[in-house]
Every structure is written in structure tokens, then in C-alpha cells.
């Protein structure tokens, strides 16, 4: 889904699997829905026990009703490609940028895929 949304899912939205199978990540099976709608769909018909309600209340009280979402750094695939070309490993790039290793690898691969001339140059060598 991140690929089709250019790496951005709007705040307050989540990815929903239409058939309920989390392993089916085909484009036809995924959609963006609001968090509240998603929760209501998955919790339809469920009744919470009193103990569970008290735990939720305590957790919300500790959070004081405010949840801060960590801001992800805006790193372009080109920046990752340049760092990799400079000789840095994916691990070093991910640590320095504060991103997951797989995210760094994906951005690197995206840049190579979007720039076919890079593949031609590599084949000539």
C-alpha cells in the first residue's frame, strides 16, 4: 500500500484488508479507511469485560488523552542511492537516517527501478 500511496498514509487512516486475510496484500484487497471505521468493523458485536474496560481506562488515563505520532524523516530514494553509491552499507544508512533497513533497501531499489539508465550503466561495466 505504501508503494501505491508514494510512501505516505494520511494521519487517521489505516490499511484494511477487504477479505480479512492479512497475507493477501494484492492491490485489489487493500484500501485506506479511517481508524475509527476500521476499529468499529473489527470490534462489531464484541462485548468488553469489566476488567478489560478498566484496563483501557487506565491506559488512556496514563496517556492523558494525547498521543504523539513520531514524525518520520523525509528521505528521498535519491538520497539513499547517493549514500549507497558513496560506499555506505544499508545498515549504516538505516542507523544514520533512523529508518528500518527494509525501508532503506526499498527506497534504493525504487530509485534504481525509476532510473533505467542506471541499470544500463551497470550492465556496460
| pLDDT tens, residue by residue, 79-93 | 999 999 999 998 999
Q: Averaged over 27-31, what is the pLDDT?
A: 86
**Residue 116: band (very low, low, confident or very high) from pLDDT cuts 50, 70, 90:** confident
**Residue 4: band (very low, low, confident or very high) from pLDDT cuts 50, 70, 90:** low
77-83, long-range: CB within 8 Å, 24+ apart, which pairs? 77/107, 77/108, 77/110, 77/111, 77/114, 78/111, 80/104, 80/107, 80/108, 80/111, 81/107, 81/108, 81/111, 81/112
- In this predicted structure, the answer to whether residue 101 has a pLDDT above a threshold of 80 is yes
pTM: 0.41
Amino acid at each position: 500500500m505504501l508503494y501505491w500511496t508514494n510512501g505516505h498514509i494520511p494521519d487517521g487512516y489505516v490499511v484494511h484488508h477487504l477479505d480479512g486475510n492479512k497475507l493477501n496484500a494484492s492491490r485489489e484487497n487493500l484500501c485506506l479507511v479511517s481508524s475509527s471505521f476500521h476499529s468499529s468493523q473489527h470490534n462489531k458485536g464484541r462485548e468488553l469485560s469489566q476488567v478489560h474496560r478498566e484496563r483501557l481506562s487506565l491506559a488512556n488515563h496514563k496517556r492523558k488523552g494525547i498521543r504523539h505520532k513520531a514524525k518520520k524523516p523525509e528521505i528521498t530514494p535519491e538520497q539513499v542511492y547517493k549514500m549507497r553509491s558513496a560506499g555506505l552499507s544499508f545498515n549504516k544508512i538505516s542507523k544514520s537516517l533512523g529508518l528500518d533497513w527494509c525501508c532503506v533497501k526499498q527506497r534504493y531499489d525504487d530509485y534504481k527501478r525509476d532510473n533505467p539508465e542506471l541499470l544500463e550503466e551497470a550492465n556496460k561495466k
